[in-house]
Amino acid sequence: QVQLVESGGGLVQPGGSLRLSCAASGIFLGRNTVGWYRQAPEKQRELVAALLPNGDTRYGDSVKGRFTISRDIRANTVALKMDSLKPDDTAMYYCSARIGVTYWGQGTQVTVSS
């Protein structure tokens, strides 16, 4: 039974930073692509960052240079470090992991005040 649990969201001022974490059980994050997606109200879910098993990364255009995805094999977690946050970053952030099918966490809310 796969479970992904996000944490670290909250309210932050523009220009501030947050670090999100995704804790996994029932799945080993080191063998598969993991990622972060976000979805704002009435908008499509969009890729924030992805991390491949070989260490390659991919970022959405709007977050390049500001966000960093990383993996902790020992803890079986994936993190998203977010710097220079903007109001447009406000969204529900979801952790994902793919092992033939894609699993999702319940999401953590990030709100950047304006």
Q: Count Cβ atoms below 10 Å from residue 25 Cβ, excluding itself.
A: 10
Average pLDDT over residues 104-108: 97
Contact 80, 67 (CB under 8 A): yes
* Mean pLDDT value of segment 51-65: 96
Band of the pLDDT at 114, cuts 50, 70, 90?
confident
- At 32 the pLDDT is 86
Q: pLDDT class for 110, splitting at 50, 70, 90?
A: very high
pLDDT of 80:
98
- Cα 87 to Cα 12, 16, 40, 59, 108: the distances in Å are 9, 11, 11, 18, 16
Residue 63 banded pLDDT, cuts 50, 70, 90: very high
Q: What number is the average pLDDT over the span 82-104?
A: 95
